[in-house]
Chains A and B, each alone.
Chain A
Amino acid sequence: MLTSTVSENRDDGEALADAVRATSSAGRPLRIVGGGTKSFYGRTTDGDVLDLSGHRGVVDYEPSELVITARAGTPIQAIEALLAENGQRLAFEPPVLGAASTFGGVIAAGLAGPRRPFAGAVRDSVLGVRVLNGAGQSLRLGGTVFKNVAGFDGFRLMAGALGCLGVLLEVSVRVSPIPAAERTLSLDMGWAAARSRLTDLMRRPTPLDGAAHDGERLHLRLAGPEGVVSATAAELGGDSTPASFWPGLRHHTLPLLTSPRLWRLAVPRTCDLPELPGVWLRDWAGGEIWLVSEATSKQVRALAGGVGGHATLYRGARTGEEVFAPLPAPLLALHQRLKAVFDPAGIFNPGRMYAGL
């Protein structure tokens, strides 16, 4: 095992379990907090703060295994730095919204960056978790190996569950080698032309690693072995992209992404949505749309739902406004039954995702 560059190494597992048991028996809810950098995301939830940021450290990392296991409170930047030292990275390229951002928070939020359509979602990389249930029991779901079909995949369920199912203590994720070559380029074209160019590029084995459209230009990031990257870059031509674009897109520092009220639409990338009510930025080859709009929630949700997608009010929900697309009643009931499996008393981040969950 490599020595971790994470300075602090502390196991708060027992204390956290005690805190869960104490709060549970007192019948109070818990608000689970890592670095607090995404506290704006989701519905508001009350409760005693359960601070995970002290529970940190890399538990195991052997680069040839392509797996890292770390405690939930480990700063995500420390994990990414350690991986980079070893020529590796997180495939899902999560947004890091501040230095305090933690590994567990990144997994629980389930947000993936520009590489998502080409390298998979957060849950695609998660191999296993150690999680506290509402009784304060520590459950190990999944493991540390890529091929593992023993037991239900409760660990993948934790990615994007916003802490509603349990307290993540430890997560194992698969990591990827950093490709030998990377190029970025930009092409002057409207979205309609960009959409058909992307469809063509994605029908062929091209080394796409990012594809975004800002309303005027198509920005492409290529990554892979040198030969195919240079050949594809030569075929595409285009201009250079400002160095700040890709990090700004990933970490939400581009001006549009800092808007106080921001929608995130997940739609089929090939869908036809020519007119959007506001200012937009398309990522994920068109499969993710960031939208700043004065349209009503109902209108935006109808727009996304109409093409088979859904809309999230990523930031700036007003009082009484839902953040996530409402679920049909039978599906919500199934969610509630699943929550009760892990958290029968409903103490973990109640209502963060949906009322009654």
Chain B
Amino acid sequence: MLDQFDISLDPTFPAVDRGRLIAALAAVLPADGLISKTEGLRVYESDGLAAYRGLPAVVALPRDAAQVRAALQVCKSLGVPVVARGAGTGLSGGALPSPGCVLLSLSRMARILEIDPAARTARVQPGVRNLAISEAVAHLGLFYAPDPSSQLACSIGGNVAENAGGVHCLKYGLTVHNIQSLEFATLDGESFTLGGAALDAPGFDLMALVTGSEGLLGVVTEITVRLLPSPTETQVMLAAFSDVRSAGEAVAAIIAAGIIPAGLEMMDKLALGAAEAHTHAGYPLEAAAILLCELDGAKGDVEAELARVAAVCETAGAIQVRLARDEAERKRFWAGRKGAFPAMGRLAPDYYCIDGTIPRRRLPDVLEAIERLSAEHGLAVANVFHAGDGNLHPLILYDANAEGGIERAEALGGAILELCVEMGGTITGEHGVGREKINQMCAQFTAAEIETFHAIKAAFDPAGLLNPGKAIPTLARCVDYGGMHFHAGKTPFAHLDRF
């Protein structure tokens, strides 16, 4: 059993009569709004983190906010845990069903309700796909900026729950920076409007608190997103380096020169080699690392900035600097980067994508440390980063069918995340804590901080029924984990008795 999955370290709930639960939900949902047969439930047993699985008691498929609220009230009255799910593309197990839960799928609430080009906003239901928003407003010269790599499939409601990022965060921000208001249902069946049509709302900034709360505080039933005017010109430059340290230094130098690229991505030798074999992007195979730098804006300005980026890269020791000659080459450069994950299939049967963030200046040190950890654990690691904002995606290559394969990959992944914390960063830049990184939360936060998070949850959900066992570890889990992983005396939970 995977350690993260050890439910004995999580809150427990008394068993509930399943027939009674189904009957109560059936009374508030449409005839086709409930899945209770095992083969139907199997579809929902995991999200994008497929190593973890669990069967819900039932899947509820509401069609509107009133049905969401009614379903939540049923769960509250019966004391049944609720796990909300968007498109199920999340990589941290945030939508993993806890045993016997009601899985609340928002997939049938997938309408774009209103587009206001003058205000540059779109009001949408949570099940709308991320990319569908940009597609619906493209003819107006507008776009929705956050673009997680799953944007073709992932839902905007899930994006809000995870505070999703993407390739263009450095310039355009995360989900929290690109939403204007939320309709939010609590377990009590109460509905709140957070944020609003103006740029601020009275009181505490609850919209910011709820964004990224991973389904622990309530369920978002409607979102008004902000739209941006599409830039007139976009260019991509590729810079190749003979060592990763120079590439890392080039990243810092570009930012220090006052340039904020729309995207600034880095791939190491293993990643770019696999990507090149997979997509034939035209990457220089002799490089130890490449940077992809995307700049957007007005035509003349983009050209001037490209020249400055090229000069900075050359000063940092680039062995090659190439501008995408045309739109087709630009798309190829990006296709290689986007194809880097599936390209790992050429190197190993399975890969495990890690998601930490570090201060940019630590990039070379972190890369060297990852190399050391990789050798210690005997598993290869390919590195793909959102280098501009220090968000690392080390890809651990392993074989799930080999004895202890997953456990070894997880042990290395955990060590890399702890390294990120040690370097002044965080265990998750954009994928969320979910189930996956629940143990590493104990490395990043003190007991008092974790107790504060639990108290915030209790302010919204006193019964603790919303997505239990995710995002915030119980102190029991931290004591257990701390005892295993921390040096004596240095554990942040040393003062707590084991229980």
Contact = CB atoms under 8 A, between A and B. Distances in A.
A160 B116 CA distance: 28
A240 interface: no
A94 B472 CA distance: 34
A139 B448 contact: yes
Contact of A225 (B209, B305, B456): B305
A342 B449 CA distance: 10
Interface in B305-329: 305
Given A140-B449, A331-B203, A153 B176 contact: yes
Contacts of B165: 147, 149
B152 interface: no
Contacts of A202: 120, 229
Given A149-B162, A330-B190, 19 more contacts: A124-B177, A140-B449, A144-B424, A146-B390, A147-B391, A149-B428, A151-B433, A151-B441, A151-B472, A152-B212, A152-B453, A157-B209, A165-B204, A327-B203, A334-B459, A338-B204, A338-B206, A338-B456, A341-B455
Interface in B202-227: 202-206, 208-209, 211-213, 216-217
A66 interface: yes
B196 A148 contact: no
Nearest to B457: A152
Interface stretch (B25-33, B74-82, B248-256): B248-256
Nearest to A204: B229
A123 B427 contact: no
A310 B193 CA distance: 13
A8 interface: no
A231 B298 contact: yes
Q: 9 closest pairs, A vs B, by CB?
A: A225-B301, A308-B197, A177-B258, A147-B429, A156-B208, A337-B459, A228-B298, A227-B300, A266-B198
Interface residues of B, number: 91
Given A145-B389, A152-B212, A64 B201 contact: no
A153 B206 CA distance: 10
Given A87-B258, A160-B204, A340-B459, A149 B453 contact: no
A199 B163 CA distance: 29
Contacts of A266: 198-201
Interface of B: 116-120, 140-142, 162-163, 165, 169-170, 173-174, 176-177, 190, 192, 196-206, 208-209, 211-213, 216-217, 229-232, 252-253, 255-256, 258-260, 297-301, 304-305, 357-361, 386, 389-391, 424-433, 437, 441, 444-446, 448-449, 452-453, 455-460, 471-472
A171 to B, nearest CB: 15
A178 B258 contact: yes
A149 B452 contact: no
Contacts of B301: 224-228
B452 A203 contact: no
Nearest to B177: A124
A343 B208 CA distance: 20
A332 B305 CA distance: 49
B197 to A, nearest CB: 4
A133 interface: yes
8 contacts: A151-B445, A151-B472, A153-B209, A154-B453, A199-B118, A206-B229, A266-B199, A337-B459
B452 A177 contact: no
Contact of B199 (A117, A152, A154, A341): A117
A327 to B, nearest CB: 5
Contacts of B209: 152-154, 156-157, 338
Given A149-B429, A149-B432, A309 B198 contact: yes
A244 to B, nearest CB: 25
Interface of A: 62-67, 87, 110, 116-117, 120-121, 123-124, 133, 137, 139-141, 143-154, 156-157, 159-161, 165, 176-178, 180, 199, 202-206, 224-228, 231, 266-271, 284, 287-288, 307-310, 312, 324-327, 330-332, 334-335, 337-338, 340-342, 353-354
B114 to A, nearest CB: 13
A324 B305 CA distance: 45
A147 B211 contact: no
Contacts of A268: 119, 197-198
B212 A153 contact: yes
Contacts of B297: 205, 224-225, 228
A194 to B, nearest CB: 14
A147 B452 CA distance: 21
A149 B358 contact: no
B444 A310 contact: no
Contacts of A307: 197
A310 B449 CA distance: 33
A271 to B, nearest CB: 8
B119 A269 contact: yes
Nearest to A135: B448
A271 B472 CA distance: 41
A21 B391 CA distance: 38
Contact of B386 (A133, A147, A228, A327): A147
A308 to B, nearest CB: 4
Which one of B199, B229, B255, B457 has the highest number of Cβ atoms from chain A below 10 Å of its Cβ? B199
A181 B166 CA distance: 29
